[in-house]
C-alpha cells in the first residue's frame, strides 16, 4: 500500500459531516486506483461561495488560507465538493493573476502565497492522472445495463474560463467515467441547470424555488430514460433528495429513482462492498435497482 500516490485533499465543511459517504466512497475507490487522498492537516471553511463582487477581497481570504495550507502539502490539491472546487480554483486564479489583490490578501492573512498551486477536482484525477482506460481495466463489477443521468449542476462548470474542467454547455466527463464503469449514460437537457442551491436558506420563497428547479432536473433526467441519477455535489444531492417525494406526489407517471454520488457507483464497479460505500445513507436507495438489473 505504500506505493500509493498521495494527493493532498481538502474536504470542506460538508464532506466531513452530512456527505461523509461521498468522501468515504471516494477515498476507498482512490486506493483501488493507486492514489490516496490525504486530508490537509489544517483547514477552514472556504466560504461556500466565491465572492462575485469584484471589490470583495475580504471574501477571498478564507479560501486563500486553505490554499496556503495545501501549498505546504504539495503542488496539487483536490476536492470532491463542487462548491469548494469552484471557490478554491477561482480564488487561486485571482491570487495568481491579480498582483494588487494578491498583495492585499497576503498582507491581511500574513502569508506569502503566489497562486502556484494546482486545484483539481477528483474527477480530473480520474480522467487526467489515472485515466479512464485504467479505471475501465480496474472494473470488477460492471454496471452494464444501468441507465444513468449524470447531473453536473453549476459550480463544477461555470464560469468556463475559470473552471475549464470540461465544456460548460455539453460536458461529458461524468458520462465518460460511467461508460468506463460499463454503464449506459443518458443525456438530458437539464444536466447543467441549477438545483436551487442555497436558496433553501432564503425562507419559504427560496424553498419553493429549490423544489421547482430540482423537480425540473429529475423530470428531465427520468423523462430521458435515466433509472438513476448521479451527482457530484453534496448540495445538489441534498436538494434532489429532499425534492423527489414531492415530484412523485405531483407528477403523474413519475416514479422515484435512486440518487447517489458518482463515487459510490465508482466504488461499486471497483468491487467495494456495499457497506464500504454507505449505500444505506442515500435517501433514495440504489440497492433494489442493482438487484433488479443483476449488477
Partner 1 sequence: MRIKLQNSNIGSEFVKYIERISGETAMRCYQCGNCTGGCPVSYKMDHGPSQIIRLMQIGQDEEIQKANSMWVCVGCMQCYSRCPQSVSAASIFESLRAQALRSDGDHTEIAELPKEFLKNAPQQAIVCGFRKFVS
Query: Could you give the C-alpha distances from 273 to 4, 67, 177, 237, 264, in angstroms and in order?
Result: 21, 34, 20, 22, 10
By CB under 8 A, how many residues form the interface with partner 1?
46
Q: Which is nearer to partner 1, 22 or 113 (CB)?
A: 22
Residues 76-115 that bind partner 1 (CB under 8 A): 81, 83-84
Q: How far is CA 182 from the centre of its chain?
A: 21
| Minimum distance of partner 1 from residue 252's CB (angstroms) | 22
| Window 40-69: contact mask with partner 1 (x via CB under 8 A) | -----x-xxx-xxxxxx--x----------
Determine, following the binding rule CB under 8 A, whether residue 164 of this chain makes contact with partner 1: no
Residues 179-238 that bind partner 1 (CB under 8 A): 193-194, 196-203, 205-206, 208-209, 213, 216, 234-235, 238
Residue from 13, 70, 135, 260 touching partner 1 (CB under 8 A): that is: 13
Residue from 67, 94, 123, 154 touching partner 1 (CB under 8 A): that is: 154
Contacts with partner 1, residue ranges (CB under 8 A): 12-14, 17-19, 45, 47-49, 51-56, 59, 81, 83-84, 154, 158-160, 168-169, 193-194, 196-203, 205-206, 208-209, 213, 216, 234-235, 238, 242
Amino acid at each position: 500500500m505504500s506505493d500509493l500516490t498521495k494527493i493532498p485533499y481538502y474536504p470542506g465543511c460538508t464532506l466531513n459531516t452530512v456527505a461523509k459517504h461521498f468522501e468515504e466512497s471516494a477515498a476507498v475507490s482512490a486506493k483501488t486506483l493507486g492514489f490516496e487522498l490525504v486530508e490537509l492537516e489544517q483547514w477552514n471553511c472556504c466560504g461556500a461561495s466565491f465572492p462575485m463582487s469584484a471589490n470583495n477581497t475580504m471574501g477571498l481570504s478564507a479560501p486563500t488560507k486553505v490554499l496556503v495550507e495545501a501549498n505546504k502539502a504539495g503542488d496539487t490539491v483536490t476536492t470532491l465538493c463542487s462548491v469548494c472546487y469552484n471557490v478554491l480554483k477561482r480564488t487561486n486564479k485571482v491570487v495568481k493573476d491579480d498582483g494588487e489583490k494578491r498583495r492585499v490578501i497576503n498582507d491581511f492573512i500574513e502569508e506569502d502565497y503566489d497562486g502556484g498551486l494546482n486545484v483539481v477536482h477528483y474527477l480530473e484525477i480520474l480522467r487526467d492522472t489515472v485515466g479512464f482506460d485504467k479505471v475501465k481495466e480496474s472494473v470488477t463489477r460492471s454496471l452494464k445495463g444501468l441507465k444513468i443521468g449524470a447531473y453536473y449542476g453549476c459550480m463544477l462548470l461555470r464560469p468556463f474560463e475559470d473552471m475549464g474542467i470540461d465544456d460548460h454547455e455539453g460536458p461529458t466527463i461524468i458520462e465518460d467515467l460511467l461508460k468506463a464503469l460499463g454503464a449506459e449514460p443518458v443525456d438530458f437537457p437539464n444536466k447543467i441547470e441549477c438545483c436551487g442551491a442555497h436558496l433553501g436558506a432564503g425562507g419559504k420563497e427560496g424553498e419553493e424555488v429549490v423544489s421547482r428547479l430540482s423537480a425540473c432536473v429529475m423530470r428531465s433526467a427520468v423523462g430521458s430514460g435515466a433509472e438513476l441519477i448521479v451527482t457530484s455535489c453534496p448540495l445538489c444531492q441534498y436538494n434532489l433528495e429532499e425534492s423527489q417525494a414531492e415530484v412523485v406526489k405531483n407528477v403523474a407517471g413519475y416514479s422515484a429513482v435512486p440518487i447517489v454520488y458518482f463515487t459510490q457507483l465508482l466504488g461499486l464497479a471497483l468491487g467495494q462492498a456495499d457497506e464500504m460505500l454507505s449505500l444505506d445513507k442515500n435517501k433514495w436507495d440504489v440497492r433494489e435497482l442493482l438487484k433488479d438489473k443483476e449488477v
